[in-house]
Structure 1
Amino acid sequence: MKIIIVGCGKVGTTLAEQLNREQHDITLIDRDPDVLLSVSDSIDVMCITGNGAIYQVQMEAGIQDADLLIATTNSDELNMLCCLIAKKAGNCHTIARIRNPEYSAEINYIREELNLSLAINPELAAAQEIARLLRFPNAIKIEPFAKGRIELLKFLIPKESILDQMKVMDVVNKLKSNVLICAVERGEDVVIPDGNFEMRTGDKISFIASHADLAEFFQKAGIENNTVNRAMFVGGGKLTYYLTKLLSDTKLKITIIERDAGRCRELSELLPNVMIIHGDGSDQQLLLEEGICRTEAFASLTGFDEENIMLSLYAASRSKAKLITKVNKIAFENVINSLNLGSVIYPKMLTADIILQYVRAMQNSMGSNVETLYKIVADKAEALEFRVKKDDPLLGIPLEHMKLKDNLLVACINRNGMIITPRGKDTLEAGDTVIIVTTHTGLNDLKDILR
């Protein structure tokens, strides 16, 4: 597909890298020629210097032939204007990044009036992920599949766990638990395990299960899923506001620490049932006075990665709280993942992933049949949801007779809302959606799972 990206910040650059890897024709528009030069050195893309909201600039970028325009500048208004012009000039699909909470209440109206294909809010997407994690504190990451009927959940095997040195096949045989372990991270390695794979303490395990089976698995594995009653958030930005609003219907007692007095006053008016503390979140004495040792969830959500990382490490040394760490820079992911930071949230990466899912869905209507896509480990493993079509050559063939690629697992079949954990005798039927977990990135069709 021909895709134009306006705005060459972290989101725009991440998107350009991922979409270029999937063989799309990418054109970047940005006002800063130095930024464009830097990106074009590492990615094979066409670059246009200029304001993406100018008709002539979009024409130069080839808007008339474009399938999609994505506006990811720092200005919501500029993004909306870019999409409006693109719709008139090229009649293509449009995606706008819209972050201001004032627009969030009217987002459906804005989408309809501007005819946007997608309006994406990085802070809201991150808040939704954190809210899911606070529901299941043992999870490092939770992704919904099959329209929310099942979830892909990642967690760390704790010390002295019954899962230590247990074979994957014994999760079903001994624990009698209906979950499917589909990926294991050990250090920098990612493995799609077979039944004889032996799990160890410290492994990060990704598995697929329904809501009921999730809770039952943790119970049988002897892992307590402690309910969170008290939470402390450091940083009072947009993400914290959205998260607190999402949690407003729970009984969670929330304390927010924010250093800007004006922002504290705003939050006090917007969130009347929340304790707002004016102070420096990196002040150890303040954190102790506000109960960091007793809190059951701690989220470091300031605008500074270094501060967030140090705060989470300090919280880990003082409490057994569920840790959530917001990180903007993606460059040092391997180093960050080696630290005890709990669940690391990358708003920029989340935004790129949601847009990537939409692009895959567009391809779906153009011949590909990927419904949804999630990165289990960035650039190393993916979980994809395919829809099985009437003329698919894989119909009716038992899974045990298919010559599947190595490091690939058929993880789940959703048949009209009935969730099937696949075994060798199971077959694929027209209308099913099937979840594939693999280290082969960039699969576009169900046929791609075969050797």
Structure 2
Amino acid sequence: MKIVIAGAGAVGKHLARLLVKEQHDITIIDESQEKLESISSNLDLRQLQGNPMSIGVLKTANVQNSDLFIAVTPDEAHNLTCCMLAAKMGAEKTVARVDNPEFTLEAETTFFKKMGVGSIIYPELLAGKEIVSNLKRSWIRQWTEFQNGKLIMLGIKVRANASIVTEDKPIKEICGSDAPFHIVAIKRGNDTIIPHGDDFVCHDDIAFFMTTPEHTAHIRQITGKEDYPEVKTLMILGGSDTTKQTVSLLPKSISTRIFEKSQKRCEEFNRVIDTDHIMMIHGDGTDTDLLEEENIDKCDAFAALTDNSEKNILACVMAKQKGVRKTVAIVENTDYISMAENLGIGTILNKKTIAASHIYRMLLKADTTSVKSLTVANADVAEFPVMENAKVTRHPIKDLNLPASINIGGIVRNGRGILPNGNTQILPGDTVVAFCLESNIKKLEQYFK
């Protein structure tokens, strides 16, 4: 597939590294030679210095013959214009990253599609949805619903008190063929494991469970998370755009205080916020005296959502020390994600990864409905509708010869979630939720053709 990326900033660089692994024909455009050179020299892609709004530059990039044009420069106006030009020149699909949440409204996306902008990505809104989903359930690291909640994936930090942490019971004994859950991925230290029957769950693993809605309470019990409180009070560090999207989605049952050092930003927020369960506090949310005055020790959750990864990590560590059970951090510097995890920060989100997941699904030739990256683990999860004569329907799962890096987590059949075992036969019309190590999703896709 021929892909052109406009913008060699953080998002463009992340996408380029992800896509090159799949052996696509990648061209990346940026006006800054320095940014282009910062992309690893061992990546097999074409670098083109120039203005991506120049028709001449786009022609040199062969946009007219591209399958996908992705505009992720820092300027949303440039991104929208680039996509319009690319579509007129013949690009099959276009994607633009924007900063204005209004552009994600249905009326606006319909307008932009007519103008040639096929899809719009607003990372802050995507991150806000993830944050709220995690705050609603303080005992999990990640919660993802598939097929309108027919199947649910839970990412949980497993401590020594969990009943599934044993030295003598491998996974095949913990979750046999009749168990109400599957363990589909494990993050252990810096390694990601797609587990099989003889593997064990260990203290401090992040285990990813697949289950159906009626069994989430059982998973909470076996992972020793029953004492985690429901989030009713929340503190947020930073009046960022991500914060704006988060509070717009928060249920009114969560009383929220937002700490922001900038008086101007506080005033902007107060004009936008029209609710009595959210309060802006003009002050430094890393000031321990201020936090103690605001009773941080009685707070259920703390979210650090500034644009500074280091500040977010340190703030969450401080909140943990003050007794806050649930913490959330935006960590944009991918080099810091493992460090943040080792420091015991609860939910770690990376907007680049979230945006890349949404863009990446456009590349799959199978009719994939979604692809989601597990932020702290080098793994992806994808939904695949099963077509007639697809390879995955020819044999029971145990006889499909799936690579060790791939795991079938669940099936939705006739509107009902099913947890398959080795003898399960996948049928046309099913929707399959499958897991694989990062960069193996193309291997997975082959089974659904």
| TM-score clears 0.5 | yes
Q: How does 1:317-336 map to 2 (within 5 A)?
A: 317-336=321-340
1:243 to 234, 243, 246: 246
Which of 337-346 and 96-105 deviates more? 96-105
- Tell me the equivalent position of 2:291: 287
- Tell me the equivalent position of 1:96: 96
- Is 1:234–1:281's contact at 8 Å kept on the other side of the alignment? yes
- Is 2:187–2:377's contact at 8 Å kept on the other side of the alignment? no
Question: Hey, which bits of structure 1, 4+ residues long, moved more than 6 A?
Answer: none
Change (3 A) 1:326 1:72: same
Give the aligned residue type for 2:59: M
2:370 to 369, 372, 386: 372
Q: How does 1:267-282 map to 2 (within 5 A)?
A: 267-273=269-275, 274-282=278-286
1:231 to 230, 234, 237: 234
- Tell me the equivalent position of 1:4: 4
Rounded Cα–Cα distance in structure 1 between residues aligned with 2:389 and 2:23 = 26
Deviation digits for residues 329-368 of structure 1 (CA, Å, limit 9, x no counterpart): 11233323211111111111211121112222xx22xxxx
Q: Does 1:261 align with 2:263?
A: yes
Give how far 1:448 is off. 4.6
Deviation digits for residues 104-128 of structure 1 (CA, Å, limit 9, x no counterpart): 4464344334332210011111101
1:351 to 327, 351, 355: 355
Change (3 A) 1:143 1:290: same
Rounded Cα–Cα distance in structure 1 between residues aligned with 2:50 and 2:246 = 36
- Tell me the equivalent position of 1:193: 195
Which of 411-420 and 6-15 deviates more? 411-420
- Tell me the equivalent position of 2:384: 386
- Tell me the equivalent position of 1:412: 410
SS, match of residue 244 in structure 2: helix
Which of 262-271 and 384-393 deviates more? 384-393
Q: How does 1:34-433 map to 2 (within 5 A)?
A: 34-39=34-39, 41-105=41-105, 107-165=108-166, 166-172=169-175, 178-219=180-221, 221-224=223-226, 225-247=228-250, 249-273=251-275, 274-360=278-364, 363-364=365-366, 369-376=367-374, 380-433=378-431
SS, match of residue 80 in structure 1: helix
SS, match of residue 163 in structure 2: coil
Structure 1: gaps (5+ residues):
none
Change (3 A) 1:195 1:221: same
Rounded Cα–Cα distance in structure 1 between residues aligned with 2:323 and 2:213 = 28
Give the aligned residue type for 2:69: L
Rounded Cα–Cα distance in structure 1 between residues aligned with 2:382 and 2:299 = 36
Give the aligned residue type for 2:32: D
- Is 1:33–1:49's contact at 8 Å kept on the other side of the alignment? yes
Change (3 A) 1:332 1:275: closer
- Is 1:40–1:47's contact at 8 Å kept on the other side of the alignment? no
Give how far 1:379 is off. 7.6
Rounded Cα–Cα distance in structure 1 between residues aligned with 2:445 and 2:135 = 38
Give the aligned residue type for 2:82: C
Give how far 1:34 is off. 1.8
SS, match of residue 284 in structure 2: coil
How many residues of Structure 1 are paired with residues of Structure 2 in the alignment?
Answer: 442
Which of 295-304 and 399-408 deviates more? 399-408
User: RMSD of the alignment, in Å?
Assistant: 2.3
Give the aligned residue type for 2:139: N
Give the aligned residue type for 2:93: H
Which of 146-155 and 61-70 deviates more? 146-155
- Is 1:107–1:119's contact at 8 Å kept on the other side of the alignment? no
Rounded Cα–Cα distance in structure 2 between residues aligned with 1:89 and 1:434 = 37
Rounded Cα–Cα distance in structure 1 between residues aligned with 2:281 and 2:111 = 35
Structure 2: gaps (5+ residues):
none
Give the aligned residue type for 1:210: T
Deviation digits for residues 53-107 of structure 1 (CA, Å, limit 9, x no counterpart): 1212111111111111111011111111111111112242110001123544464
Rounded Cα–Cα distance in structure 2 between residues aligned with 1:190 and 1:381 = 7
